[in-house]
Structure 1
Amino acid sequence: MKNISIKIRSVSAVSIAVCIPILFLQAQESTDILESLPNDVSKIPENEPSREEVFILPDFIVTTDKDTGYYSANTTGVTRTNTLVKNAPLTLSIVNEQLLDDLQIFNDQGLDQVVASIDTEAAATTYSLNTFSMRGFNASYSRYDYFTRALPRDNYNNKRVEVIRGANSLIYGQADPGGAVNYVPKQAQFNEDFGSVGLSYGSYATKRQRFDINRILNDKLAFRLMGTKVEQGYEQTYKKREFEGVTLEATYRPSYKSSIRAHYEYVNQILNFPSASMNDGTFLDYSGISRGLPYANGVHDLMSEGVIDLINNYSTNASRALPNMTLTETMASLYSQVSEQDYGAYAGKDNEREIGGHYAILEWNQEINDDLQFKIALNHENRDNEHMGRATGPVRIVDYNFLRFNNQGIEVYAPELDITNEAYLLMRAYQSESNRANTGIRSTLSWDFEARQSNHSWLFGFDFDHLKIHKKNYALLRNGSAPNNVPFVNNDGTINNFDWNETNQYGTSPFVLDVLRLSNGTSYPDIDLFGNNAFGTLGHRHRRGIFDNANENWMISEAQGSWTLYKDEEDELTTLGFWTALQSEFLNGRLRTLVGSRFDTYDILVKETDYTASTESGGGKPFELKADGAQLSSTLGALYWLTSDLGIFGNFSQSIRVPQAAQKTVFGEIPEPELGQGIEGGIRFSLMDNALNGQIVAFHIQKENDIGETFEDYQIDNIFPQEIYPNLYGPDDNILSTVGNRINGITNISKGIELDFNYNPNSRFTLALSYAYTDFKRGDVPENIEMELATRSLLGKPTHRASLTSKYSFNDGALKGFTVGVNQTWRSDTVAKDLEMWVDDSLQGRSGEEVNVGKIVTPDEFNTRLFCTYQKKLGKGRKATQMTLNFQVNNIFNEDGLTSRRDTIFYRSPRSYNLSANFAF
């Protein structure tokens, strides 16, 4: 607690030190502006319409002319039509282009800097930079111009990001109940030709290049070409990212009432992402509590009070591999071998994923008359994915599979092993290749009409999506047979898995295994498999299995093996959505309502062949699953302005999300759709002539049939024992390969309070504040898994999150052209792992069971980012090139301790720097 208090004070000090002079300067600026205003305000000229505004159809295209600083006044995120944010009866956050550039937000991973209800995930756990949760619920993906998108993204072609919170499927279709994120692309402009080029350098050899060129061919046709190339390094050994993207935007306006827009984008990304975590499997204590701990220094400081004493007292009174040694002493001895940079990186550069493809949109806007307009958009995405990985087990010294339990305790099969320098990792290689093709349609018809002194907009929509995925998974299997002459791969293609507890030999594993000493570090040679032969052999050295005492001469040889197909999956999903909404204004705009309904149908087809089990257990037998259904969801919302500055609002909304990919229940069926339902209500204010805008909202969301939680085979065996559920098991007593790891019927609930606050008194100063309190917990669960979930925490769910972003620009004086700013985020402490203790007969008479005795809690997480920008025209005249220099320091206090996301515990990124230059012409 003492250390945490010091961190809080140090963060608060810098925030105050930066914000006080900024507030003083903006107050002085407000006085200067008031003094400079003319006596007759009516003589201030209004902005003339730009050339672009003559053609734009405002109902479907968001306007930005009222944006000020970090505050965006308009959105299309409510009904796909242009709406004032403050008049929407839903909860919205807009991350505009200015905020994206200032904080260098390039993908979903940066949105948590400004939207407190968003919590991003550990990228290395998913090989994605676009995974996050909102209001506690995991989000499967964000959208690009309202279409789903699986291809990687970068900020070079984004104009803004719209974040709509709550269970709202009305316009987004398949949606998660926490909310949705939609990226709005940059489009070709008709006001003037322009262009820009940019270059940036940062820590860990990071380099970014980009360009943006807009050209007007004539009054009807304009093009915009954008591109970027990124080489991003990280503090973790071997970790890097390469990204290339090119986008062509074109807009054709055959008349002032219609426009046709085309978007084409090429993307290629290579990720070398080692594991984000590294777990301990050394079984340091007899209690079993240390099993699965992060193999990192200081982890014992994160344990619940009393757990360390419980481990030490229990272990010193039992026969075990390390008698009379305290857990903290053992950790200090063993965990010091692994640095923060090497943590999780022992698998080397072979952890690589290459993703390439294209993304295209064709859009037609048409005004039929002053009251009737429509928009139809077509989308196609094609993504190819090639992935090489090395499955890394926990760090081991004495392996559970080579221990024997008896009345005398533990008999170690390798008693001569020097436990202080023989920590090792066991790894095996795998590879996958896949293709994902998605075709979508989004169409909207808008009819505006008046009735009894009220204004209405009636919208009708039709959505269509067809997704097809084909994925093949390969494993590197050894050639020949095991020592007992049983082949690793049968003639029918199925793979023989042996029970290591019976043989006590690595030699019986069909997989080519790496056994690597931790003492060697990460300096061993690496082979870039994609640069050579992706289906060749691996290059890491191997050594004898240290526990293979049945045959001392048995060696794990040079990785001589063959890539063998072990799973072939084909998934097809078709969804149709029909929706309608009525948006109304009553009492001269003081009362605004939204009533909508959506009807979705879905059709799922899954084909799968799994070769990893024997034929008797279902291996090698293709099987097919089908599911279809329909769901009606509704949205009701209202906002009432009590005064011109203060309003109240509330809404009720529902969402639906059908399973994707080969997700199966334990009974081998496609899971039921996830259904969300939520209510929210709050206060909205717009004060000081729109200089101060914000809202306070309370929400309650329920997600039925949450299939985000998965269950391991041993858990399935406990919940669905063979004597009661014999159909889940094969003749060899193993769980059938057709059995999945999802269970229908789990309900999770999220409730909380959120605050959003924007202050923009003038063009020099802007401030954005976001805070979220989220209470995420389980609701109803099926009776047969109630005991299993009773001691299973919902991991990685912070209760509090907050962010503050502010900047001040100097428009005159010696500092003219400079802008200084600060971004401060806070993420509260989080439960990262449950600690469980084995219970044997000598204690409580419950042999084989595990009891939850505590938790690992990662501490509060603070991050401070400072940035400074300098702008200057390189020449005279309106068309002179403008130079913008930007310097940033992220994590200025170098907070690099352990943190967590979901069930993954890893080190935070240390302090980093970035310097960028942009030239606009």
Structure 2
Amino acid sequence: MIRSAIRFRAIILAGSALVAAIPAHAADETQRDYLGSEIIVTGQRDSYAAEDGSTATKTPTPLINVPQAVTVITSDQIEDQALRNLNDALRFVTGVSLGTGEGHRDQIVLRGQSTTADFYIDGLRDDSQYYRPLYNVERIEVLKGANALIFGRGAGGGAINRVMKTADTMSSLVGADFSVDSFGGFSGAVDLNQPLTDNVALRVTGTYEELNNHRNFYDGRFFGISPTLTAELGPNTRLTASYTYDDDRRVVDRGIPSENGAPLRGFDKVFFGDTRGYNISTNQAHIARARIDHAFSEALSFNASVQFADYDKFYGNILPGALGGPANARTVTLSGYESGTTRQNLIGQANLVAEFATGPARHTLLLGAEAMDQDSTAIRNDVSFGGAGSVTLPLANSFTIPAFTIVPNSQSESSLNTLSFYVQDQIDFGLVQLVAGLRYDRFDLETLNIRNGFAGERVDEKWSPRLGVIVKPTEALSLYASYATSFLPQSGDQFTVLSAVSETLVPEKFENWEAGVKYAITPELVATAAVFQLDRTNTQSPDPANPGQIILTGATRTKGIELSLAGEVTDDLQVTLGYTLLDGKITRTTSSAPAGRELQQVPGHQVSAWARYQLTRQFGIGAGLIHQSSQFTTLTNAVELPSYARVDAALYYDVSPELTFQLNVENLFDATYYPSSHNDNNIQPGEPFNATLSARIKF
């Protein structure tokens, strides 16, 4: 607690020092427009194209001037596709592959880098392992490529940021959404916004879902509620505060095993787990946030945020392993374990943004500081079948799991403290713009392995640069090149326990080189193209000269091309299209695989498309396509997920401006496909044809 107080005092002092440097008369000037223009609660439709690039720079920057590939899923796309959770939304983002996350959490592979931790809420870290809902989300931002200057450690392949809904003091909203699908799942959601005074407004979003799908024995339920308050404390000052409670309970489904290097066929509905209640995941997340924005003048603004999060996660599971036996008497090996994690995060962040000129150059200067204190406890227990760690059963359409006992495996406590300072200058010479910045991170991790008594500690101090060059032949066209880095301490992305080896090793490093073009064909239609190379180094590798020893000579490289088009083609047609070409390989032998192996879950080609066309004032149609070429499940390169294409469709009927009916169909042609895996024998079959009927009320 002493170190926590010191770090947050440092943030407060840093913010105070920044504010103290501001001229006293600055506060009398006009408020900056961008303070009040983020969320408009009118119910009117907007474009699939996004304009706000502030998350990528922490400054008021148009997305077209950000030297980085960014995909934004807007509120209209979320609504049109009836998206309920983050996983479903990210299926339509090329460059992103979805891991199954052991059937209980979000896990993505972004530019070849697998992560369970690079998730953010309004730019603040949200790194616990759980499924993230969308009922209180305004838009989703996928920022690609390493960029520690903005996000700090991790985010080697990029970061996922959810921009949350906020209350609006200017208008009222009453909204409700009810849906039911052909598997028997249903959900209801509310969205209420009410000005309380001329300067204060309250917004409450909430949802309840009963979960179901095509897999045997699968069910679950989710409840979430999120009130948020906006208070205009003066013409130049805004306070936003929110609290979110999410409560999730669902069956943990680890999927199906493989056979002969491919997913096991004919068992897409079979549940390879315990049907008596052991395969269950529960999570309760409490997240409280507050942010204050103040404009001292049109050229000078300050914001400070604080977030406290409390996560309580537990799951148990029986899972499939390798197949065995002769062809006419096949068997499957089952094992199991349970895991629990509690975590409390306290994050503080302060930013000062100044705009000024030096001669012909215009500057947007960012000075910022961030501190984080995180305390976690983690426990894992293994399943024992009469003293054995696994059991072998005949392959069948259902399983009766033999009696088992729980054997303690590991237990740990960890305390993570970070302190960061960063500076960035965006310099506009007219035809050419530069983005240059540097971030300092101090990363202090202490862990205790309660089982063996090992107390580990590591302190890392890293400098992370960012440099971008943007050429602007016209206001609607940006040509850019950029370089940015990130790092990840050698203790996994959840930082629960250190070993005697990981305590001593320097962090892994990520370097992202990128060049691209962004073109606003019209103000509502934007095309982008980018080429990139992402190198990951300092990866653990066995020492050939000293068997059993670890050295940091391993490396991987991901290269690719990304193309996208998003926005309004005509008044009646909205589209979002994307294509990614990826090539990811191990370039120097790691502890996991030798050089030359392809990276896991990196399809060579990805295509996504979604369009909505308004036929009349009342009727609209939608259609979508997801295609991924074949990909390996793991670094063994022994099991391959076959290529697939999934077609979706939608119908929209606006009874009135206040009432809309919507029919969404996933997998219209009932294709058989396997979109994700966790390892060679935990492969998730894709959903067959599924129709969801929704009714939406807004007034």
TM-score (norm 2): 0.87
> 2:439 and 2:688 mapped to 1: Cα distance?
46
Q: Secondary structure at the match of 1:601?
A: strand
- Could you say which residue in structure 1 is the equivalent of 2:463? 632
Report the secondary structure of 1:650's partner residue: strand
2:48 to 38, 52, 70: 70
Q: Describe the shift of the 1:113–1:572 C-alpha distance in structure 2 as closer, same or farther (beyond 3 A).
A: same
Do 1:808 and 1:819's aligned partners in 2 also have CA atoms closer than 8 Å? yes
- Which residues of 2 match residues 702-781 of structure 1 at below 5 A? 702-706=535-539, 744-781=552-589
Secondary structure, in 3 states, of the residue corresponding to 1:745? strand
Aligned-pair identity in percent equals: 19
In 1, Cα distance between equivalents of 2:610 and 2:674: 25
Q: Which amino acid aligns with 1:860?
A: S
- The alignment status of 1:683 with 2:517, answered yes or no, reads yes
1:421-471 deviation per Cα after TM superposition (whole angstroms, max 9, x unaligned): 5x4445455333321111111211111212223322111000111111101
Report what 2:375 is aligned to: 468
Q: Give the Å deviation of 1:683.
A: 2.2
Q: How does 1:733-882 map to 2 (within 5 A)?
A: 744-781=552-589, 789-790=594-595, 792-811=597-616, 816-832=617-633, 856-873=639-656, 882=658
Please give the alpha-carbon distance, in whole angstroms, between the structure 1 residues aligned to 2:39 and 2:563.
25
Larger radius of gyration: 1
The 2-side partners of 1:226 and 1:364 are apart by 21
The residue aligned with 1:264 is: 243
Equivalent residue, structure 2, for 1:103: 81
CA distance in structure 2 between the partners assigned to 1:236 and 1:743 by the alignment? 43
Which one has the bigger strand percentage?
2
The structure-2 alpha-carbon separation of the partners of 1:860 and 1:455, relative to structure 1 and needing over 3 Å to count, comes to: same
Q: In structure 2, what is the Cα distance between the partners aligned to 1:391 and 1:862?
A: 28
Q: Is the 8 A contact 2:112 2:599 kept in 1?
A: no
Cα distance in 2 for partners of 1:209, 1:639 equals 45
Counterpart AA for 1:176: A
Cα distance change on mapping 1:750 and 1:872 into 2, 3 Å: same
SS at match of 1:698: strand
CA shift in 2, pair 1:246/1:230, >3 Å: same
2:176 matches 1:197: yes
Aligned to 2:483: 652
Which residue identity does 1:827 align to in structure 2? Q
Counterpart position of 1:500: none
> Which amino acid in 1 is paired with 2:238?
S
Segments of structure 1 that go 5 or more residues without pairing to the other structure are 1-53, 281-289, 298-337, 399-418, 479-506, 525-539, 543-557, 611-620, 729-741, 836-853, 874-880
> Separation in 1 of the partners of 2:596 and 2:307?
45
Report the secondary structure of 1:908's partner residue.
Answer: coil
What is the alpha-carbon distance in structure 2 between the residues aligned to residue 82 and residue 367 of structure 1? 12
Q: Is the 8 A contact 1:677 1:701 kept in 2?
A: yes
Q: Map of 1:29-40 to 2, 5 A cutoff?
A: none
Residue identity opposite 2:281 in structure 1: R
Cα deviation digits, residues 246-298 of structure 1 (max 9, x gap)? 00100111211111111101111012022223256xxxxxxxxx5xx56723x
**2:118 is the alignment partner of 1:137:** no
Deviation of 1:891 (Å):
0.8
1:329-368 equivalences under 5 Å are 339-342=267-270, 344-345=272-273, 349-368=277-296
SS where residue 705 of structure 1 aligns? strand
Q: Report if aligned partners of 2:53, 2:64 keep a CA contact under 8 Å in 1.
A: no
Relative to structure 1, the CA distance from residue 182 to residue 791 in structure 2 (aligned partners, 3 Å threshold; closer, same or farther) is: closer
**1:113/1:823 contact within 8 Å kept:** no
**In the alignment, does 2:673 pair up with 1:890?**
no
- State the distance in 1 between where 2:289 and 2:318 align: 37
Please tell me the root mean square deviation across aligned C-alpha atoms, in Å. Answer: 3.0
* Residues 217, 762 of structure 1: alpha-carbon distance in 2 compared, 3 angstrom cutoff: same
For the 8 Å contact 2:356–2:363, the answer to whether it is kept is yes
The CA deviation at 1:779 is 2.3
Aligned length: 660
SS of alignment partner, residue 322 of structure 2:
coil
* 1:240 to partner: Cα distance: 2.6
The answer on 1:603 being equivalent to 2:436 is no
Whether contact under 8 Å (2:177, 2:188) holds in the other structure is yes
1:696 aligns with 2:497: no
The alpha-carbon deviation at position 858 of structure 1 amounts to: 3.2
Residue by residue over 1:846-879, the C-alpha shift from the partner in whole angstroms, topping out at 9 and shown as x without a partner, is xxxxxxxx95443321011101111132xxxxxx
1:909 is matched with which residue: 687, 690, 694?
Answer: 687
Structure with greater contact order relative to length (CA < 8 Å, sep ≥ 6) = 2
Name the CA shift for 1:193/1:368 in 2 (closer, same or farther; >3 Å): same
Alpha-carbon shift at residue 56 of structure 1 (Å): 7.4
Q: Note if 1:449 corresponds to 2:348.
A: no
Compute the displacement of 1:476 (Å).
5.2
Structure 1 residue 573 displacement after superposition: 1.4
- Equivalent of residue 427 in structure 2, options 563, 566, 584: 584
Q: Distance in 2 between matches of 1:760 and 1:427?
A: 51
Retained in 2: the 8 A contact 1:457–1:582? Answer: yes
Contact 2:586 2:595 (8 Å CA) reproduced: no
* C-alpha separation in 1, matches of 2:152 and 2:635: 36
Q: Is the 8 A contact 2:560 2:583 kept in 1?
A: yes
Q: Which ranges of structure 2 fall in alignment gaps of 5 or more residues?
A: 1-29
**Structure 1's 369 and 833: CA in aligned 2 closer, same or farther, altered over 3 A?**
closer
SS of the aligned residue for 2:64 comes to: helix
What are the Cα deviations for residues 50-95 of structure 1, in whole angstroms up to 9, with x where unaligned?
A: xxxx987515964779995211122312222222111222222221
Greater displacement, 234-243 / 271-280: 271-280
Q: Using the TM superposition, give the Cα deviation of residue 207 of structure 1 relative to its aligned residue in structure 2, in angstroms.
A: 0.6
Question: How much does 1:781 deviate?
Answer: 3.6
> 1: CA distance between counterparts of 2:218 and 2:31?
47
Aligned counterpart in structure 1 of residue 398 of structure 2, from 515, 522, 534 = 522
Secondary structure in 2 matching 1:374: strand
Q: Is the 8 A contact 1:108 1:131 kept in 2?
A: no
SS at match of 1:184: strand
Give the TM-score of the pair, scaled to structure 1: 0.67
Higher helix share: 1
